[in-house]
Amino acid sequence: MMNGNIVRQGQSWIFTVPPTLIAAAAIGGPKEGKGPLGADFDYLFADNRDGQESFEQMEQKMLQIVCEMAIAKAGCVVDDMDFFLCGDLLNQITSSGFTARALSRPYFGLFAACATAIEGVILGSLLIASGAANKIMCAAGSHTCTAERQFRYPNEYGCQKPPQSQYTTTAAGAAVIGSEEGTIKITAVTTGRVVDLGVTDSFNMGGAMAPAFADTITAHLLQRGVSADYYDLILSGDLGRVGRDIALDLLYRRGIVLNEHRYVDCGCLIYGDDKSVFAGGSGCGCVASVSFGHIYRRLMSGELNRVLIAATGALLSPTSSQQKQSIPGISHAVALERI
Amino acid sequence: MVKKPKVASWYDPIIKAHGTPRPLLRNCLVAFIFGGALCAVAEYFQLLISLIPGISDKDASSIVMVIVIALAALLTGLGVFDKIAQQVGAGLAVPITGFANSITSSTLEFKSEGYVLGSGCNGFKLAGAVIFFGIGSAVVVALIELILGIV
């Protein structure tokens, strides 16, 4: 069944001929620029709308610019991309569809909420390893003002948010992956299963997604046959401070002890100690920009050698939430290594 | 109505152990003090206005309400209201300021979809529930009064 480039172990695929993360780029808004990772963005907008007529147009513009930046950094042109895999948070993932219209390359639209960027990397690397493509562009982005009004309330509505709520990141990230040689290799991927323990509080996404993260981490370590110490850094995607604590607890109960200093969460990293974001950042753009900005740079500089990124997504909609359905969580993981 | 699912029994204590509870006591106190002060100031202005010759007590009350609504709408447009509301919660939501903010914020938010289908259709998206149940309960109260009056 496999072509010799991949070995499958349960829900993990381990590459014997690993695809390369050729280049990556990240852009963000003003609040993200002021955060501790500000210097790791390739471009920062001074304004959340930057002259666009709507925030939705701004989100699309961010995605398009970050894609063009990643392609330029990879030394390619748009037409070199065999596939464009992209997703966002908006209804019918319009920001991605409109970006695909501009790029005019074979396109797959993805949705895994905040885990979308990593879902793209997984599918992209499997496509590369299968021999179906040579170069693939993966991207994802989100905008705080578009997500706020779609999932919660109008932006200026005065609602008192609880301490475990999270703030949607205004950012986007893009990566070019391919079969050629390079510094950073995608050595293994683990596709998440949907886990739902019945959490209905849409202000506690961390609590809803943490079990999915624990499930994927357990599967990945077991199926790849490595311990958590194998990685210099394990990164969860937007569990926030509350979800991160729950994740550590859940894994500890399963006998997996993550080193406090070598396990970080994108949602906690991106804004640092900023109290105005409550438990931390969230949104497609959070994992995308932290992975393809901050983490990519640290891998390139050799500061990190092995990183496991397990992005988490909450698969709810405003309708499902109002109809009192619980929140299904998913977590997709990808191992990036310098070889 | 769908029945709300329950958190898995083994997971419930874990999620509760790590979650930060809402600071209820602090929120209640701040809302009480801020909301009370807001109403006291409004009441004071109402008294002042009613002293103007030719303005009845009822008129003075309406004028103060208009001023408070206009101020809440202005602060919403300036992007300040939601920041104050995060701190004082019900202190701003319960007085008529909350109602004004819900309409102004929805109207502003949906402006990008046009004046009619955007702002027009969505302006009362949040406030609609208040009107719906407000009129509903008014009908019930009126009916009770009518019946008691007959008896």
Contact A227, A251 (CB under 8 A): no
Concatenating the DSSP letter of every residue in A91-127 gives GGGHHHHHHHHHHTS-EEEE-BTBTHHHHHHHHHHHH
Chain B positions touching A198 (Cβ under 8 A) are: 5-8, 11
Which residue positions in chain A have pLDDT lower than 70?
Answer: 1-2
Please give the residue of chain B at the shortest CA–CA distance from A321.
Answer: B4
B4, B79, B82: residue with CB nearest A200: B4
Residue among A293, A305, A306 at smallest CA distance from A23: A293
CA B131, CA B125: separation in Å to the nearest integer? Answer: 11
Instruction: Assign A205 to helix, strand or coil.
Output: helix
Domain map of chain A by residue range?
Answer: 6-178, 184-338
Question: How does pLDDT run across A240-254, given as a tens digit for each residue?
Answer: 999 999 999 999 999
Q: How confident is the model at residue B150 (pLDDT cuts 50, 70, 90)?
A: confident
Chain A positions touching B8 (Cβ under 8 A) are: 197-198
Quick one: tokens of A15? 């590459």
DSSP state of A80: G
Question: How does pLDDT run across B92-139, given as a tens digit for each residue?
Answer: 998 899 999 999 999 999 999 999 999 999 999 999 999 999 999 999
Residue among A276, A269, A202, A213 at smallest CA distance from A241: A269
Helix (H), strand (E) at residue B90 = helix B90-93
Q: How confident is the model at residue B2 (pLDDT cuts 50, 70, 90)?
A: low
Q: How confident is the model at residue B1 (pLDDT cuts 50, 70, 90)?
A: low
B23 and A163 within 8 Å at the Cβ level: the answer is yes
Helix (H), strand (E) at residue A193 = none
Fold adopted by A6-178: Peroxisomal Thiolase; Chain A, domain 1 (3.40.47)
A159 and B14 within 8 Å at the Cβ level: the answer is no
Q: Is the fold of A6-178 the same as that of A184-338? A: yes
Contact A309, A237 (CB under 8 A): yes
Residue among A298, A282, A202 at smallest CA distance from A239: A282
Residue among A286, A282, A284 at smallest CA distance from A166: A282
Fold adopted by A184-338: Peroxisomal Thiolase; Chain A, domain 1 (3.40.47)
Place of tokens 């709507």: A54
Place of tokens 């925030």: A55
B5 and A324 within 8 Å at the Cβ level: the answer is yes
Chain B positions touching A153 (Cβ under 8 A) are: 105, 126
Contact A146, A123 (CB under 8 A): no
For residue B47, pLDDT beyond 70: yes
Contact A127, A133 (CB under 8 A): yes
CA B5, CA A39: separation in Å to the nearest integer? Answer: 44
> Which ipTM was obtained for this model?
0.90
B27 and A161 within 8 Å at the Cβ level: the answer is no
Quick one: tokens of B121? 């259709």
A149 and B109 within 8 Å at the Cβ level: the answer is yes
Per-residue confidence (pLDDT) for residue A17, from 0 to 100 = 95
